[in-house]
Amino acid sequence: MLSKRANVFYLEHVRVMQMDNRIVYATQDDGEIESFFNLPERNTAFVLLGKGSSITDAAMRRMAEANVMVGFCGSGGSPLFGALDMAFMPPQSEYRPTEYMQSWMVKWLDDNERIDIGKKLLKERANYAEIQWRKNSELKKNGIVIPEVLRKSFFEDVDSAESTQHLLLAEARWAKALYAILAKSFNFTFSREEGKGAGATRGDVCNGFLDHGNYIAYGYASVALCGLGISFSLPVLHGKTRRGALVFDFADVVKDALVMPTAFVCAAGKKSHKDFREELIEHCQQQEVLDHLFRFIIGLCENSE
């Protein structure tokens, strides 16, 4: 089942191919000795292919048959610059459910319904973040929690919003407040700047972790939407001029809850990008992120709270 898949791969300088009725990726040792490693497609949610990577048509066909999302990206996992619908290359299978897409389309065409879904999405984002921050052992050790007064204030802003723009302003204030809490707690200066991961400060390193972690979150959101047969091109909050923005909407549920705290913890601990990605993927698997996204999206389509 898509919602139970455990593996997420980021690979660079590899060749992905089909060999002996299985998918493998090949690496080279100093350009001479080639090593092959299995890629278990039936238990893989998505694959990010970084610098110097390639994939054969036979491997891509087998990935599609197993409903594995594939995206091409830059070093470390971002930016994602070679994918369909601004997200990932989804398998073009016609044997996916239709009821969720039909339900989403009906709601999306109604302005009031769309704003209502946006409010539910933002509230879920805050609630899930509050739960996950309380579960995070590193945050607990440092006494870091999301203040209840902040969450209540955010909910009040969301409830009083009359347009998508008002919701986006509330969202921006919420995210800025979370960044400030984490930066103060880990005692380093931080300002969110996408693509600022190459600098020497811990704030720059944290920005790089956030960039890479966000694309992992996009992968999880893409898998859930593709599995339910919902088009990426029907957003409720983000990217009204960009195809694929619904992925961004649902990735935000994961970003505040798991990507953001993991990025700050790893930056404070002077960990590498590889360590960060491994920790983030492990957290996502432990907290059954795919299951959570599937349930939440289905609930929105079925009008459940």
> What pLDDT was estimated at residue 189?
85
Q: Which domains does the chain have, with CATH numbers?
A: 2-86 (3.100.10.20), 99-301 (1.20.120.920)
Helix (H, G, I), strand (E, B) or coil at 283: helix
Distances (CA, A) of 183 to 16, 176, 189, 268: 39, 11, 6, 9
Contact 49, 12 (CB under 8 A): yes
- pTM, whole model, 2 decimals? 0.79
**Residue 214 and residue 204: Cα distance in Å, rounded?**
15
Angstrom CA distances, 110 to 166, 184, 217, 240, 270, stand at: 18, 42, 28, 15, 48
Task: Give 183-215 pLDDT, tens digit per residue.
Answer: 999 988 888 877 665 567 888 889 989 988 888
Tell whether the model's pLDDT for residue 81 goes beyond 60: no
CB atoms within 10 A of CB 121: 21
Residue 72 token pair: 């091409």
Confidence at 86, pLDDT banded by 50, 70, 90: very low
CB 237 within 8 A of CB 163: no
How far is CA 275 from each of CA 30, 113, 163, 165, rounded to the nearest angstrom? Answer: 24, 41, 40, 37
Give pLDDT, residue 87. Answer: 43
For tokens 């065409």, the residue is 109
pLDDT single digits (tens) 102-142: 999 999 999 899 999 999 999 999 999 999 999 999 999 98
Peptide bond into 235 cis (omega under 30): no
Residue 20, amino acid? D
Residues 33, 9 contacting (CB under 8 angstroms) = no
Nearest to 76 by CA among 196, 254, 213: 213
- The label of the residue with tokens 């432990």 reads 286
Residue 84 has pLDDT above 50, yes or no: no
